[in-house]
Chains A and B, each alone.
Chain A
Amino acid sequence: MAAVTHRDDAIDMCPDEPSDADLIAAMEAGEPGALEALYDRYSRAVFSFALRMLGERAHAEELVQEVFLRAWRQSHRFSTQRGSYITWLLSITHNMAIDEIRKQNRRPKRADADDPVRLLGNLRDGDAPVEDQAVLATVSVQVRAALAQLPEAQRNTIELAYFRGLTQREIADAQGEPLGTVKTRMRLALRKLRDHLDDQGIELT
């Protein structure tokens, strides 16, 4: 289960399910069933994030496979002592998506690319495990709320940097702002996000 939780949910939501650590150990022993179980648990979060960054469904699907193949090949590189497994998977996803964006100089091409609901219509699904949906949905609501309370300029800077793969210099050029202004916006945005999420009881693990 995700280790990024609301404090009120900081108990094992699935006591009958094998833990991430158990499944990772089984992967290291070469058991594909363990990879399959971790895929079932986390592919939705990985795919959603990849789709948000790449803006194209086919590329996001390819990326999901690559992320889980890397997780399979390099399972020994994850340590449960240093963070949650979903965070590790999403870090891999971000790195690979950034590489893809910068390699192809690919940007979401449609003005409504920020809203995959409009792009993908009825693909929104509701069949993920209920307990996973509950915890991750709680975190999602809080993170969205934290982003929504940022001043627009700061929120846009986070959007361009983290989700669109622009460097701080590219952002400064695109916005016609001094580089120092972009750095300040990043700093203030992350500080406000931290304060807001901490106030809302989101565990930053």
Chain B
Amino acid sequence: MTHLPPDNLANSAADAACTSCMENMDAYALDALDVDEIDSVVAHLDACPACREELARAREVVNLLPFAVDPFSPPPAVKAGLMVKVAAGERPEDASPVLFANPWRTTGGDTPPATGGT
């Protein structure tokens, strides 16, 4: 059996992880992964700057898709209701950093990080 040198083994494993991540990158950027697929992508992105760069490139395109829709303005009552809620006591949260916040996950209702200009 042929054994690769340790460095090559490590590189091979990294390449395989990148390949696996890349296969799901576009779906991740489009928010089209199933929940059980997200964790492995997020874990790899945490450790791989090259794949994060690829994700940023995919999101640059995805971020333009909302502009393809027909334009409509919400009725005035929406704004009025919003401002009533604000006046009733909604306040900006403290700006202290959020511990353990995952910067790559975009599903689950958490507010996403601003992306696209990295």
Contact = CB atoms under 8 A, between A and B. Distances in A.
A144 to B, nearest CB: 5
Interface residues of A, number: 85
Interface in A141-175: 143-144, 147, 158, 161-163, 165-169, 171
Contact of B32 (A74, A133, A167, A197): A167
A107 interface: no
Contacts of A158: 30, 65
A70 interface: yes
B50 interface: no
A158 B85 CA distance: 36
B92 A91 contact: no
B71 A76 contact: no
B103 to A, nearest CB: 10
Nearest to B108: A99
Contacts of A204: 60-61, 63-64, 116
A28 interface: yes
A116 B73 CA distance: 12
Contacts of A165: 31
Contacts of A64: 74, 78, 82
A120 B92 contact: no
Interface in B83-118: 83, 85-87, 90-95, 106-118
A120 B70 CA distance: 11
Interface of A: 4, 27-28, 30, 32, 35-36, 39-40, 43-45, 47-49, 51-52, 60-61, 64-65, 68-70, 72-84, 87-88, 90-96, 98-99, 115-117, 120, 123-125, 127-128, 133, 136-137, 139-140, 143-144, 147, 158, 161-163, 165-169, 171, 183, 186-187, 190, 193-194, 197, 202, 204-205
Given A28-B92, A79-B113, A147-B68, 19 more contacts: A35-B82, A35-B86, A48-B72, A64-B78, A70-B111, A72-B86, A73-B92, A78-B114, A88-B114, A94-B66, A95-B107, A125-B73, A140-B71, A143-B68, A161-B27, A167-B32, A190-B26, A194-B61, A205-B116
The 7 residue pairs across chains A and B that have the minimum distance between CB atoms: A76-B95, A204-B60, A161-B32, A186-B26, A52-B69, A82-B114, A83-B116
